[in-house]
Amino acid sequence: MNRQNLWFLTLFSLILILGVYYITLPSDIFSKSGVENVSKNIDVEVSQSNKLVSLRVERDEKISSVMSELQDKIISSTDTKEKNTAFEELQVLNLAKGKETYLEDKILNNFKINSFVEINNDNINITISSKEHNSSIANEIMRSVQEEFEDKKNITIKFTD
């Protein structure tokens, strides 16, 4: 697969995701009465633990800064090899972020537990928001996550309230 096709697929995927997101938004959000209703309904209940939210924000900031550096390399570098390396690293970051989100959704759908997943090479760290520290659920989650990979991963699970 050449670079031009890879760029096309990346941009097409992004456009597709944004299109699906736009279509799934309720239509009353864009009307004036929808905006008024949204601003009047201030009762917000947070369902995820603050720890998971802070972990996500921290990860997103870190990934964002690394992606920015890689994009700068791609734009400013004149060396083709350096550009290709930066582009490949950017793709690996995008794939890892997508896989993390997929695994978080899988854990939520299969086990009804909010989680935070961070993939770093062969290490997968999972933080679970649960008051109950159940080792059998942790083992089931580890098996479920390992099913998504062909090679063996080091999966660690940490419980948080």
- Domains observed in the chain: 48-160 (1.10.287.4300)
- Say how far apart CA 73 and CA 25 lie, in whole Å: 36
CB atoms inside a 10 Å sphere around CB 117: 25
End-to-end CA distance of the chain: 45
* Per-residue pLDDT at 13: 84
* Per-residue pLDDT at 141: 93
* Per-residue pLDDT at 44: 47
pTM: 0.64
- For residue 139, the Cα-to-chain-centroid distance in whole angstroms is 22
DSSP state letters, 74-88: HHH---HHHHHHHHH
* Per-residue pLDDT at 27: 65
Nearest to 121 by CA among 80, 149, 83, 159: 149
**Residue 92: C-alpha distances to residues 10, 88, 102 (Å):** 12, 6, 15
* Per-residue pLDDT at 90: 87
Stretches in the chain below the pLDDT threshold 50: 35, 39, 42, 44-46
* Per-residue pLDDT at 25: 73
* Per-residue pLDDT at 21: 77
Amino acid 160 reads T
* Per-residue pLDDT at 36: 53
